[in-house]
Amino acid sequence: MKLSTRTRYGARAMAELADAYGEGPVPVRELAANQDLSEKYLEQIMAPLKASGLVKSVRGPGGGYVLGQPPSSIHLSDIYRVFEGSAAPVDCVDDPESCPLYDNCPTRPFWGELKEAIEDTLGRTTLQDLLDRWEKHGDH
């Protein structure tokens, strides 16, 4: 499984917002510079996160982005779904009609298990968990 750059950059930006949670908005210029992204590309990444309610934008002087919920309430699965949609590795897991061999396929059950494993891992990991791991390993 390979994640899109938008998912990776979105998760990193969300982790930075989680680290600043409660301290006020992180300015767009600062967030873009810290993530080594152009402000324009950052805005494209943040737009669907904002539409989903995971982040909020604050206008005006001292504005920027803040998390829409506490870091302990935002799971990586929330971010993943915004950018990737389903975690199903093949279409037939979500849409049996997409494959004429659906009922007679020895690999289909495995693909369903893989989807469940991905969703489980993403669903039990919050932004707060990422920050805690980061602190624990001394990377911060």
Q: Which domains does the chain have, with CATH numbers?
A: 5-136 (1.10.10.10)
Phi, psi of 66 (to 5 degrees): -135, 160
Percentage of the chain modeled with pLDDT above 70: 98
Q: How high is the pLDDT of residue 139?
A: 60
First-to-final CA distance of the chain: 28
Closest among 70, 76, 71, 65 to 32, alpha carbons compared:
65
Which of the 8 DSSP states describes residue 90? S
Three-point CA angle 120, 122, 123, nearest 5°: 60
Quickly tell me which residue has 């206008």 as its tokens. Answer: 59
Instruction: Indicate if the pLDDT at residue 51 is higher than 90.
Output: yes
Neighbours of 119 (CB within 10 A): 16
Q: Read off the pTM.
A: 0.88
pLDDT at 86: 93
- Does residue 15 register a pLDDT over 60? yes
Give the pLDDT confidence of 82-130 residue by residue, as tens digits: 999 999 999 999 998 898 888 889 998 999 999 999 999 999 999 999 9
Identify the residue whose tokens are 């289909």: 108
